[in-house]
Structures are given as structure tokens and as C-alpha cells.
């Protein structure tokens, strides 16, 4: 059976999105703190991306100004990843992934500020729905998980912020080269923070305690970061931005389903979470279609 380029691209992107969704589950399984976990992730990811680029014969050199910009964006990504895994540790992967589903909502408000254009009516309308729904979910989840949910929303905001920064500064730089320097930025920030953290928390673990945790970290860094990113870039060659967004918006859906199957997290969550979560996921999945129709009508 011969698979055409577009079908192959959709399959590649779905695999990438499933791998991205799996990161929250691995964050729950790995026993290290959020900071140490992120440090190991970026160390292995930076090494693997560097090796990939070298094997492909790609030049990673850029002028100093652009390197500084991308490493600064990496600083934002570092805080995003720290809050993401912090949210996982404070609550669970399902709640964190649902919070991350609001990234497109935050993007719709941040992007007009950066590119000096008015807010879209559809964005305001969806925001007016998402905010009370998140309040409903927060009311029904365990009190101990509430802080995790708030940290998860902060992580979603930071994800939106760095995605807009990426769009603004991508210029003519190959995405993998740009990503490499951003990851180096993450590594730089966390390398400063880790010694301070270990000094203040001398009992905290730095090395994964067993083989299982080493495996989880390598799967997180290689499969869920480097491989997923490469697959998504290859897929983008044959898919429109609209088609890409439709699939990427499935990340929290895949992640929550995987969390239910692997971590049995559905037993920790009540009906309010799933009712509110379903409303948000429907909005997120419908958003690209609604936006495209409104643009078509305005032409």
C-alpha cells in the first residue's frame, strides 16, 4: 500500500502530537524535582539536536545578535517547562494538560499586542466562555490540586508568549537551528538554577535513582522532544497552517486519554472536571474552523 505525502504528513504529525502529550505523564513518573528533570531533559535534547544537525550537514552558526535573541526566548521556555512540570507535580498530568489547552486562547490575546492589530471578536467570545469554565473546574477539583492548576495556567500563558516570540523572530533561520539555540538558552538558565537549588535542598536528588527513571528521561528527551519536533517539522512541509493547528489541538485529548490508561488519573477527577474539560476541548478543536470561516466571510 502506497501512502501519499499528505497522508504520511498527517500520520507523522499525529505521532508527534501524541509524543508531546506523553511528556506530562513522564513528568509524573519521573521522581526528580521539576528543575532537575528539566535540566536533564534539555541536556540530552540539546546533545541529540546538535548530533542530528551535524549528521544532516547543517550549519548551526548564527550572528551573535540572533543567538542572544533565541537564547533569551529559551529563558522563557525554561520557565514554561519549570511551571509545566511543577503543575504536574502539584496536581496531575490531566489537569496540567487541560490548562495547556488554553494556550491558543492566551495566544489570541498576546499576538495582537506584538503585531499591533485589533482583537478578533471570536477570540473575545471564546475567552468569555473559557474563563468561567475554568472557574467551574477549579471549584470542583481537590483543593490540593488548585495550586497546580494555577501554575498550569501560568505555563500555558508562557507557552503562548514564547510561540509569539518565535513567530516574530523566526526570520529566515531553519527551525531546527533556531530550536537548538533556544534549548541552549534553557540549558544555560537551568544550569545556573540547579546548583542553587541543590545547595538549598541538600537532600534533593540530582541523579535519577534507578534504571526506570533513566529510561523515562531518555524517552522524554529523545522521543518526546527531539523526534517529535523533527516529525512535526517534516509534516509541516505538506500541511497548511490550518491543518497543522487542527492536529496540534488534539495534544491535551491524547494526553488525558493516555493519563487515564497509564496512570489511572480518571479515578482522581470528578464529573465537573470532565464536563468543563469537554467544553474547553470542543472550543479548542473548533477554533481553527470557526476562525477560518469568519476570515472567509470577511473577504
CA nearest to 100, candidates 185, 165, 163, 170: 163
Grid cell 509541516 in the structure block, residue: 236
With pLDDT > 90 as the criterion, what percentage of the chain qualifies? 39
Mean pLDDT of the chain: 86
Q: Which residues are within 8 A (CB) of 30 and not within 5 positions of it... i.e. 6 or more apart?
A: 37, 208, 213, 216, 217, 220
**Per-domain residue ranges of the chain:** 5-298
Angle subtended by helix axes 143-169 and 64-90, to nearest 10? 160
Predicted confidence (pLDDT) at residue 290 exceeds the cutoff of 80: no
Residue 115: exposed, middle, or buried by beta-carbon count in 10 A (0-12, 13-18, 19+)? exposed
Q: Assess whether pLDDT exceeds 60 at residue 1.
A: no
> pLDDT-based confidence at 288, cuts 50/70/90?
confident
Q: What is the pLDDT of residues 243-269, one digit of tens each?
A: 676 677 778 888 888 888 888 887 777
Cα separation of the two ends of the chain: 41
Q: Span 274-297, mean pLDDT?
A: 76
- Full-model pTM: 0.86
pLDDT band of residue 296 (cuts 50, 70, 90) is: low
Other C-beta atoms closer than 10 Å to the C-beta of 46 total 23
Instruction: Report which of residues 180 and 171 the model is more confident about.
Output: 180
Angle value at C-alpha 285, between 283 and 288, nearest 5 degrees: 95
Amino acid at each position: 500500500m502506497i501512502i501519499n505525502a499528505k497522508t504520511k504528513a498527517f500520520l507523522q504529525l499525529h505521532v508527534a502530537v501524541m509524543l508531546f502529550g506523553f511528556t506530562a505523564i513522564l513528568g509524573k513518573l519521573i521522581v526528580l524535582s521539576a528543575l532537575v528533570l528539566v535540566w536533564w531533559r534539555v541536556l540530552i535534547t540539546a546533545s541529540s539536536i546538535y548530533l542530528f544537525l551535524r549528521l544532516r550537514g547543517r550549519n548551526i552558526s548564527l550572528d551573535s545578535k540572533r543567538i542572544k535573541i533565541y537564547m533569551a526566548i529559551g529563558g522563557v521556555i525554561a520557565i514554561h517547562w519549570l511551571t509545566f512540570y511543577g503543575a504536574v507535580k502539584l496536581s496531575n498530568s490531566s489537569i496540567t494538560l487541560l490548562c495547556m489547552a488554553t494556550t491558543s486562547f492566551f495566544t489570541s490575546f498576546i499576538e495582537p499586542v506584538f503585531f499591533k492589530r485589533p482583537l478578533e471578536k471570536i477570540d473575545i467570545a471564546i475567552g468569555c466562555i473559557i474563563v468561567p469554565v475554568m472557574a467551574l473546574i477549579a471549584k470542583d477539583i481537590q483543593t490540593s490540586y488548585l495550586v497546580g492548576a494555577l501554575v498550569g495556567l501560568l505555563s500555558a500563558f508562557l507557552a503562548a508568549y514564547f510561540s509569539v516570540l518565535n513567530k516574530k523572530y523566526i526570520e529566515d533561520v531553519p527551525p531546527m537551528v533556531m530550536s537548538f539555540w533556544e534549548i541552549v538558552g534553557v540549558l544555560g538558565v537551568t544550569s545556573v538554577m540547579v546548583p542553587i537549588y541543590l545547595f538549598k535542598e541538600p537532600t534533593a536528588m540530582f541523579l535519577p535513582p534507578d534504571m526506570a527513571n533513566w529510561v523515562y528521561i531518555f524517552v522524554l528527551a529523545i522521543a518526546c522532544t527531539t523526534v517529535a519536533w523533527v516529525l512535526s517539522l517534516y509534516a509541516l512541509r505538506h500541511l497548511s497552517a490550518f491543518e497543522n493547528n487542527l492536529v496540534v489541538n488534539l495534544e491535551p485529548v491524547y494526553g488525558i486519554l493516555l493519563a487515564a490508561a497509564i496512570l489511572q488519573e480518571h479515578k482522581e477527577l470528578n464529573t465537573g472536571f470532565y464536563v468543563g474539560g469537554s467544553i474547553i476541548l470542543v472550543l479548542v478543536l473548533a477554533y481553527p474552523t470557526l476562525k477560518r470561516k469568519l476570515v472567509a466571510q470577511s473577504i
